[in-house]
């Protein structure tokens, strides 16, 4: 019974905050997702990354291990996803990012924090950094048909994490005014990301429900299978195991729809996958949390 209440305490904030965004979006009231997204990605998330990494005792070894394992996950997911899409004659450039790049920010980071505390948040951030970088480079390449490495260097969190790693390596805390500023700005990230997720879900439409359900199931099933397998292969335990499995099993990031719409790559189909997979994930989330916490 204690575990049930623990799971409820973890997922309830996500449902409530994302639900507020969903109801707000359905009400028709104004909400500028572009401005909120820019504020969050350019200021909130980098500040959250810096604040979390510089005040926690997460070793560079743990940080690097999590990035390496998740890197293997991304490569394996892309390979499996490409084979499945070709077998079912679906456009790889449109749908591969949607079934390969999970929502490690809006959904993943809050769950890592609520389930495993600040340590889980730090490990979840390492995964988010790699995934978001891959999303704006590899995902951009699939959607546009062009490869642009420069896009990776334009993302602020890469430079912020480099600064945080320097403080971690020399084991010297940042000046108090920098630490306090980063903590305050970073504090807005998770609530804004969840509200923006809810608003985005309220505005996306599902055109082909059957295809969306199938591809949504593929995203969650491949993610869970690879997450559990890689955690076992590399002997991950505790927070590291739980964070990896959680982040691998998240539904597609909304960024996949944004890229598909920008380059006219079956945007309505990708939107359907994002929406349906996210609601499927919300239904399976209690069982996923039971699995990672009991394990």
Beta carbons within 10 angstroms of residue 171's beta carbon: 7
Q: What share of the chain is helix, strand, coil (3-state, %, to 5)?
A: 80, 0, 20
Which pLDDT belongs to residue 153? 67
Which pLDDT belongs to residue 150? 64
Which pLDDT belongs to residue 128? 86
CA torsion angle 231 234 240 242 (round to 10): 10
Q: Say if residue 55 is exposed, middle or buried (CB neighbours under 10 Å; 0-12, 13-18, 19+).
A: middle
Work out whether the CA dihedral 250, 10, 60, 225 comes out positive or negative. Answer: negative
Residue range 112-138, pLDDT digits in tens: 988 999 889 889 988 988 888 887 778
Which pLDDT belongs to residue 42? 79
Residue range 34-52, pLDDT digits in tens: 788 778 777 887 888 888 8
Q: Closest Cα partner for 151 from 131, 127, 130, 135?
A: 135
pTM (2 decimals)?
Answer: 0.85
**Alpha helices, DSSP H only, in 174-253?**
176-186, 189-203, 209-233, 238-248
> Which residue ranges make up each domain of the chain?
2-294
Under-50 pLDDT residues of the chain: none
Which pLDDT belongs to residue 284? 92
Which pLDDT belongs to residue 149? 62
Q: Which residues make Cβ contacts (< 8 Å) with residue 214, sequence separation at least 6?
A: none
Q: Tell me the CATH number for domain 2-294.
A: 1.20.1530.20
Q: Closest Cα partner for 24 from 200, 277, 143?
A: 200
Q: Say if residue 96 is exposed, middle or buried (CB neighbours under 10 Å; 0-12, 13-18, 19+).
A: buried
């Amino acid at each position: 019974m204690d575990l049930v209440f623990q799971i409820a305490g973890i997922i309830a904030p996500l449902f409530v905050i994302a639900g507020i965004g969903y109801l707000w979006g359905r009400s028709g009231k104004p909400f500028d997702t572009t401005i909120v997204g820019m504020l969050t990605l350019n200021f909130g998330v980098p500040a959250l990354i810096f604040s979390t990494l510089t005040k926690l005792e997460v070793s560079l070894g743990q940080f690097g291990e999590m990035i390496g394992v998740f890197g293997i996950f991304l490569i394996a997911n892309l390979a499996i996803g490409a084979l499945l899409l070709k077998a079912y004659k679906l456009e790889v450039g449109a749908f591969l990012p949607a079934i390969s790049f999970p929502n490690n920010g809006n959904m993943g980071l809050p769950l890592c924090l609520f389930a495993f505390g600040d340590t889980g948040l730090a490990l979840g951030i390492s995964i988010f950094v790699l995934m978001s970088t891959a999303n704006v480079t590899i995902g951009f390449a699939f959607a546009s048909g062009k490869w642009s490495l420069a896009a990776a260097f334009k993302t602020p969190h890469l430079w912020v994490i480099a600064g945080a790693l320097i403080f971690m390596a020399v084991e010297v805390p940042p000046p108090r005014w920098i630490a306090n500023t980063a903590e305050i700005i970073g504090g807005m990230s998770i609530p804004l990301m969840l509200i923006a997720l809810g608003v985005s879900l309220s505005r996306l439409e599902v055109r082909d429900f059957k295809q969306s359900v199938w591809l949504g199931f593929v995203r969650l099933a491949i993610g869970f299978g690879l997450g559990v397998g890689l955690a076992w292969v590399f002997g991950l335990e505790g927070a590291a195991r739980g964070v990896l499995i959680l982040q691998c099993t998240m539904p597609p990031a909304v960024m996949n729809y944004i890229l598909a719409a920008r380059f006219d790559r079956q945007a309505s189909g990708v939107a359907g996958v994002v929406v349906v997979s996210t609601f499927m994930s919300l239904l399976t989330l209690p069982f996923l949390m039971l699995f990672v916490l009991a394990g």
